[in-house]
Structure 1
């Protein structure tokens, strides 16, 4: 046997043993024998570097150091999930689904593991890239660290597609977590607080050999790609397991919501027997064609729902109520608590939301309060233990002036929150607006973080986000913790932000109620900041999904002379304040005034591309047929009830070719 054949044979054997042990949970050789074979392979590879393979089993031991984790856009957005907490929530969800899709609806029930979300890309059966969830649109490339996780296959088995992504959670099993903490305590170090945060933090360690020492696992649950050889979610789990992925066996197919609830109730009682942290169940419409029909809201898939187990609850003392000022001037009361452990973390603060919530629960300083984590993430006070209340305590009087600038607070009729109206002179508002401007979903300025923004404002170097574009390296270097190289990177990052597209710039401006989705709609409709600035309330309300509250806020923003001056400065510095000529070239008004419903499977363009073509040509995409629908674009497998409804309302039904001809003419 040649050296190359020997190396390949060892790699093949080690991959198979790794799969048996970490995925199938069986073993045919001892740990000692495995380590000996691995050592033999390491020696052969070191002596013969010409046979290097980036996906060799020896990569598992780590050793590479990553100084900076590159930000990578997701090919397929990683959405959040909507949450439910009761049978009624799930029944309401099912009603919405059945209005939009035809035929019987089955559900796949899977446990919701509490780890760090991960997207893995495979090309020709080899791990190409591992990217964290990030903000859902882009994440950090942590491939080197993920390759050390033994349940992540580096080379797939069987009939896998040529290119696809698979999503899952990187978790730290309880046994491994306990062992790690025992070692830390023995070494005189602070123990880690919970498995989830430890798993997440492990992925950003610079030395991959340190990651390799941690007993992380990767549990997979979702395939993404074009023309994958699967028709249902449940089938995708079976296929992924065959290809070599660790896919939990507990998933179950449910025929109705009652069977879903049987699954939920069983695991609510038995979840503590699991080797991993879990905080609920994820229910998905099983049929992938029905998933496509249902589509997405701005934040979550319509075809999936997370059912959250009842949150852990503790009681502690509320020491003091303080008040925070947000970037829009909104005042948030905060409960400062006697520190207490809750769901694996120490909780010291909880939001009290607004004056109405304080009055409704009659919350007072000195009270013993019940605290839980909403969805096991954000702590909230859910009640007061009145048996522990001091008889001398006084009801809480909500403050009347801003805690930062002492301006008298205002509360608009119909609004829950109080506001500080001093938008131009209140420090947290000034800092908050700039922090929003530079954030990842907005201008994403490399080298500039929230703390540095605060330093720049406090040191008088900037007072609004337009000032950023006049900063020099010399001005920035004297700041605390700022070296010459980091100052240069900051200035270069600001310069690079001039290429950020218009819709993200519009979102970055921080106009109240104008989130990412609204910014995209306004940018697509008006094409430039000047057109939006001159738009009337009446004009704005006519734009799809723009209501009165948003319209009033936009008009109010551009009525400010200071805001107009800042925008003129941004324009002068070269920030993108209109849709680029290249993008405009692909947009027309051919379909303006028309609403389309897309249904079925298409051969020439994907459903996503078809929807984009409708919007790029001025049309609107709707999820359901109504009297306002202009056309139904029907592909193969269009549901009979949709066809009947369209015909009953006299809505024209066109095919893929008819539509493509419509926009080509």
Structure 2
């Protein structure tokens, strides 16, 4: 074995071990900095010697694979559905059918929590993860292996402990988004003026369909295994298979329990009916399975489901209480959101006093009135919501709620942009909650992350008139003596704040751009814009049309960005940030032009391409002197059509007589020696994410074999 290959193998094995300890045993054997250093070293070795990289290297967890379209694969073992029930009477009927089918033989059940996620089938060969396939229609699913590899608690390489592993086997399990991650994602989307995701399951499902695995990695999905499948009967019982999966390093939830009677099953169901809300993952029921695999075979299957298993579904958690008031909150983008204030009501393990109403449309649809008795549900939602009104309890003199026409914070007349559900306050220069929220966003962890200057502190400084916008934060060191006199501050706190502001001047341009709080510009869009334009000066000069051509941007975002930089106050604030020393450009050299073969020609890229991603094709066009735009006009040189291109663009191009060419046609227009430029060195180290594990209940468990 060569020295380089030995280094790669050693680092790979070490990092797999550290990941296992961290995500399965909650043990950090080394500091995060040391882990990141090893990961970066491995990434550098793999980049220099790609032929020596191992197929399941830990570096794959940061993502980076672009999938033009997901191929499909047949399931060797069909992914069937389960029969569902919401009643204990149905469970007793199921138990009686099992008794008859087993002709009085003794049997035991395994009860598992039914996690609300996305069912996944994983194939391991010689201990290596080789394929991940979605349920699909139960017979065939999408191959999403690149996306699955980014899930940090899922082992890419199994441990050689416990029972002997067969050469090939399948693991079924549930991929889910932890509720704290879901809540954080929705907070970010709300701050950016984007539509909120309905529930963690939809968020996880949507993430797995993303074509860029780096974006999937950012969603921080997790996995629980709940079933083992192979050609032989390697274990006598389902519970023994679960123990083997755990021994091999696969994450199996600690919440399953072996039950020897229906009474024990019902006890398990009742326990988790009360305690499931303490878990960081949404659950919607309990799966009950015969433990003995031979007995499972005896009981067999119906056309759609097994006779040896059933899912008990918990009804959606609901409560009835009185609506006392509607409070209107103003967000960073000016959106005015109604929140219902309720009489306290116990719901899903908490006391609920507030519920989401979303917007004026929902108030009208529910015909909400103050004093109404309303029904509130949590179900799969994180935030309670009002679902209906008890009209039988409505007072005779009740009046419809009149949505405000003026901002509740500054009195400015509200507007409702066409096509939007929210009313907005347009006074983004003088509305206090908007200004304060912009500052809080700028100092937040994913933006400038200024030590000593959290949301509460910056809000307090705003209220005292010490800061007004992002650039004014960098005037604070000159007010150190005044700050030290404030309650709960002191010299040490001021020193920490000043040091934090100084350190923030090294935060990369893309995070600064995200921190500016431009509507619709989240982390990913900020990264794409920074990489494309490289300097804030170039971004300021961009038009909505050219912005729309940047990958991951599009028309709505482009208009928002262009409008933001056209505002003189925003340009002035950016100049003050520049004077303060904040990073407003990417370091390093931009990719150099390869030729002028496409000079003077303009292209639109539409659809999914086979040989290159859309971003790669855009790079090629630009490096040969061409321009890429997002809209079709008479001045357009070519429409480059990929698979699944929308009919509207094709029709408009045909109408305007714009030539429509393929990806192959475009590549033929380039010099023979054309190559894609080397991408900038990837940040190989991704800070170890906080592992979100379930608290250990009195007796053990896990998700469902079917969902």
- TM class by smaller structure: 0.5 to 0.7
Cα gap change, 1:461 to 1:98, in 2 (>3 Å): closer
- Give the number of the structure with larger relative contact order, counting CA–CA contacts within 8 Å between residues 6 or more apart: 2
Q: Distance in 1 between matches of 2:664 and 2:440?
A: 48
Cα gap change, 1:650 to 1:503, in 2 (>3 Å): closer
Cα gap change, 1:249 to 1:509, in 2 (>3 Å): closer
TM-score, with normalisation over the residues of structure 1?
A: 0.52
| Counterpart residue number, 2:517 | 510
CA contact (8 A) 1:455 1:479 kept: no
| Counterpart residue number, 2:85 | none
Is 1:550 aligned to 2:557, yes or no?
yes
Cα gap change, 1:357 to 1:596, in 2 (>3 Å): closer
| Counterpart residue number, 1:499 | 506
Partner of residue 327 from structure 2, selected from 296, 302, 322: 322
Q: Distance in 2 between matches of 1:536 and 1:100?
A: 34
Q: Following TM superposition, by how much is the alpha carbon of 1:500 offset from its aligned partner in structure 2, in angstroms?
A: 1.6
Q: Distance in 2 between matches of 1:319 and 1:589?
A: 68
Q: Distance in 1 between matches of 2:386 and 2:244?
A: 44
Cα gap change, 1:596 to 1:354, in 2 (>3 Å): closer
Q: Distance in 2 between matches of 1:533 and 1:519?
A: 14
Q: Distance in 1 between matches of 2:494 and 2:546?
A: 44
Alpha-carbon displacement from aligned partner over 1:176-226 (angstroms, at most 9, x marks no partner): xxxxxxxxxxxxxxxxxxxxxxxxxxxxxxxxxxxxxxxxxxx9638xxxx
- What secondary structure is seen at the aligned counterpart in 2 of 1:460? coil
Q: Distance in 2 between matches of 1:249 and 1:241?
A: 10
Q: Distance in 2 between matches of 1:589 and 1:508?
A: 36
| Counterpart residue number, 2:14 | none
| Counterpart residue number, 2:349 | 344
Is 1:455 aligned to 2:460, yes or no?
yes
- What secondary structure is seen at the aligned counterpart in 1 of 2:384? strand
Q: Distance in 2 between matches of 1:310 and 1:615?
A: 50
Gapped regions of structure 2 (runs ≥ 5): 1-19, 40-58, 82-111, 118-158, 166-172, 179-221, 226-240, 257-264, 286-312, 623-627, 629-638, 644-661, 679-707
Q: Following TM superposition, by how much is the alpha carbon of 1:114 offset from its aligned partner in structure 2, in angstroms?
A: 9.3
| Counterpart residue number, 2:546 | 539
Q: Distance in 2 between matches of 1:444 and 1:551?
A: 26
| Counterpart residue number, 1:279 | 282
Partner of residue 101 from structure 1, selected from 59, 71, 83: 71
Q: Following TM superposition, by how much is the alpha carbon of 1:566 offset from its aligned partner in structure 2, in angstroms?
A: 0.1
Is 1:396 aligned to 2:430, yes or no?
no
Q: Distance in 1 between matches of 2:355 and 2:35?
A: 32
- What secondary structure is seen at the aligned counterpart in 2 of 1:315? strand
Q: Following TM superposition, by how much is the alpha carbon of 1:374 offset from its aligned partner in structure 2, in angstroms?
A: 5.7
Q: CA RMSD in A?
A: 5.8
Q: Following TM superposition, by how much is the alpha carbon of 1:439 offset from its aligned partner in structure 2, in angstroms?
A: 1.2
| Counterpart residue number, 1:464 | 469
Cα gap change, 1:495 to 1:76, in 2 (>3 Å): farther
- What secondary structure is seen at the aligned counterpart in 1 of 2:493? helix
CA contact (8 A) 1:587 1:616 kept: no
Cα gap change, 1:220 to 1:536, in 2 (>3 Å): closer
Alpha-carbon displacement from aligned partner over 1:45-101 (angstroms, at most 9, x marks no partner): xxxxxxxxxx99xxx999x9x9x999989977799xxxxxxxxxxxxxxxxx99731
- What secondary structure is seen at the aligned counterpart in 1 of 2:572? helix
Cα gap change, 1:596 to 1:419, in 2 (>3 Å): closer
Greater CA drift, 542-551 or 564-573: 542-551
Report the count of equivalent residues. 430
CA contact (8 A) 1:321 1:333 kept: yes
Alpha-carbon displacement from aligned partner over 1:546-586 (angstroms, at most 9, x marks no partner): 3332222222212211111000011111212122125x369
TM-score, with normalisation over the residues of structure 2?
A: 0.49
CA contact (8 A) 2:508 2:583 kept: yes
> What are the residue-to-residue correspondences of 1:118-197 with 2, within 5 Å?
157=161
> What are the residue-to-residue correspondences of 1:187-586 with 2, within 5 Å?
221=224, 240-243=245-248, 247-248=252-253, 272=270, 277=279, 279-280=282-283, 311-373=316-378, 375-472=380-477, 473-581=480-588, 584=590
Q: Distance in 1 between matches of 2:319 and 2:595?
A: 57
Is 1:628 aligned to 2:641, yes or no?
yes
Q: Distance in 2 between matches of 1:70 and 1:170?
A: 27
Is 1:663 aligned to 2:680, yes or no?
no
Cα gap change, 1:98 to 1:474, in 2 (>3 Å): closer
CA contact (8 A) 2:330 2:336 kept: yes
Q: Distance in 1 between matches of 2:419 and 2:641?
A: 31
Q: Following TM superposition, by how much is the alpha carbon of 1:426 offset from its aligned partner in structure 2, in angstroms?
A: 1.3
Cα gap change, 1:557 to 1:613, in 2 (>3 Å): closer
Q: Distance in 2 between matches of 1:61 and 1:580?
A: 37
Q: Following TM superposition, by how much is the alpha carbon of 1:629 offset from its aligned partner in structure 2, in angstroms?
A: 3.5
Alpha-carbon displacement from aligned partner over 1:459-514 (angstroms, at most 9, x marks no partner): 11100010111212334323332232222222212221112222221111111122
